[in-house]
Structures are given as structure tokens and as C-alpha cells.
Structure 1
Amino acid sequence: MIRMRYRTALSQRSPSTALLSTTMPPAEYYFRLQHGITGGFAPPTPSAIYTVTQAANQPSLAITAAVREHGTPSLSEAMPKSLSPDAGAALVDELHAILKDLPIEDPPGSEDIYGLDTSIFWGSDDLEWANGGPQGCGGGKSTVQASEEQKAKFKRAVEIVDELVKEAK
């Protein structure tokens, strides 16, 4: 399994350099949000998994949403949706810019450093970013901790993904 836990040199700019660069995401990207990443002895039980994919030369964002209703043991079947790239462009641009500046836990999956029981994975040519390990966060302590400002930015990133999924038809 390829570990997608690194940030590119482009994503590790200083704050002053980041302000000078464009925040526009690449033509192709994929991101996934999972609500429910903390576990312990047992693996986490996700309450929702959303995926958003923009492939080059595709007329719309491909979005899937799988949700676990309260009291049920598993996620529902992922329901495909779509959204025009123009409708979500500003939100995707904002998400891309936020993630470029946020830290990830170290070691991967050690701790939910944002405290929202939620993970986001972003994959594109210029940025690969993920918080929470492949099996969620199962205990331990991260050597990297998020500041209150970074926690607020991550909360905004989660709101953006939730909003895109709600807007999709």
C-alpha cells in the first residue's frame, strides 16, 4: 500500500510565500471526508464518507455520499451525485488553500489533532494531504499539535466539504 502521508515542497512554503502564490486547485483532484475516525481497541465506526472527484475534461464534479443512520451498524450504499465545477469552484479553491497550510499528525493515525473525529484526504498533482491514518486514529500522542487557529481552519474545511455534498444533485 502506498503511503499518502507527505506534503509536497509546494505545500511547505512559509506563510509569506504562500500568500504570493495562487490558491487555485489543479484541473484534476480527489478528496474524501470521513466523519468518525477515532477508535481504540476496536477500529472506528464511520458515520459518513463523502468523496469528490474532478477529472480533467469532465463536465461536473463526481460526488458520492455514504451515511450511517443513527443506530445502524453500517454505512448506506454510496449515492452518486454531481455538481457543476463552476458551482463549487470558490469552495474547492478555499479548501485547497486551507489544506496547504495545515499540519498533519505524526506518526500517522496517532491522534485526532483537530478534535473533530473527522479526516480529510486530498490528492492532486500539487498536494497530497491527509489527517488520520488509514485505520483512523487509535490512540497515542502526535508529536505535531494543531493551534486553535489551525483547528478553526480545519473546521472550516469540514464545513466546505459538507456544503459541497449538500449542494450536489
Structure 2
Amino acid sequence: MPVGEYSLRLQHGIRGGFAPPTPNAIHTITQPLNSNTLTIASAIRLSGTPSLQEIAPKFVSSTEESTAALVEELHGILKTLPTESPPGSEDIYGLDTSIAWGSDDLQWMNGAPEGCTGGTSTVQPTEEEKKKFKRAVEIVNELVKKEA
């Protein structure tokens, strides 16, 4: 079953502490309602630069078989994964990466928007859940690399 309307955001660089984190990349993928096109927007920190540089958005068919399969796999993985508690306390997956997913049937986010503060989470993932999260990150990166 297709996932439907959703928005997701992946941020590389979520560990903070006294100072907020310095993201290396932020990717946003949006599937609008009644559309067959994903909108993919990215901002990347080039080596030695102080801020993120936006890249022109691209548009990818969401009905293309491999794209739809990746999105469904990602959605299925996120439904099974825990998030840290309290939110933003700890990078429980250890990848310095957060994913935020929002759709009618799933609201999921690890790492607070302002990053992880360096606290301790009362929730810790299993090794299997860490592998699943790593796969989720790989899926988002595959989607971002798709040709328009």
C-alpha cells in the first residue's frame, strides 16, 4: 500500500552540548497530497565553510517502482524504532544523524530539532534496532541521490 502524503527530514550533525550542533547536511523530502512527485531539497556544508549552502530542489517520480519501495521500507522501519526519552537527550543510535517523519499515520523523530544535549536517554535501542536505523539513513540518502 502506498504511503501517501508525508514529509521527512534527515540531518547529519545533531550532537550538541553547551553549543547547538553544527549540521553538515539537511535533506528534506516531501510527498504532497495528490501528487506523483517527491520534492527533494538539500543544504550541505562544504568543507571549510561556516554555513550550509542550499542546493536547488529536484523533483523525482514517487510512482517509480524503486522509489516507492524505498519509501515503503523506510516507513516500515521507522514504525518499529524507539526514540530517545526525553527527546533530544542522547544520540541513541550513535550516527550523529536524525530523521523526522510526519504523515497521517506516523509522527516519528529522533534527536530534537536543536540537536542532542548530551544527556542520557531512558530508552536505549537494541543492536538490531541500531542496524535498522542505519538502514533508514541509507534509504534517505539513496532517495536524495536519485536523478530527477
Q: CA deviation at 1:126?
A: 0.2
CA contact (8 A) 2:3 2:72 kept: no
Q: Does 1:33 align with 2:16?
A: no
Paired residue total: 146
Please give the root-mean-square deviation of Cα atoms over the aligned residues, in Å.
1.0
- In terms of mean alpha carbon deviation, does 24-33 or 89-98 score higher? 24-33
CA distance in structure 2 between the aligned counterparts of 1:44 and 1:152, rounded to whole angstroms:
24
Which of residues 76, 79, 84 is equivalent to 2:61?
A: 84
Other-structure match for 1:136: 115
Question: Where does the alignment leave 5 or more consecutive residues of structure 2 unmatched?
Answer: none
Q: Does 1:43 align with 2:20?
A: yes
The alignment partner of 2:102 has SS state of: strand
Question: Where does the alignment leave 5 or more consecutive residues of structure 1 unmatched?
Answer: 1-23
Q: CA deviation at 1:44?
A: 0.2
Which of residues 103, 126, 129 is equivalent to 1:124?
A: 103
The alignment partner of 1:163 has SS state of: helix
CA distance in structure 1 between the aligned counterparts of 2:127 and 2:112, rounded to whole angstroms:
22
CA distance in structure 2 between the aligned counterparts of 1:66 and 1:77, rounded to whole angstroms:
4
CA distance in structure 1 between the aligned counterparts of 2:2 and 2:35, rounded to whole angstroms:
15
CA distance in structure 2 between the aligned counterparts of 1:66 and 1:84, rounded to whole angstroms:
21
Query: Please, what TM-score do these two structures have when normalized by structure 1?
Result: 0.84
Q: CA deviation at 1:25?
A: 4.9
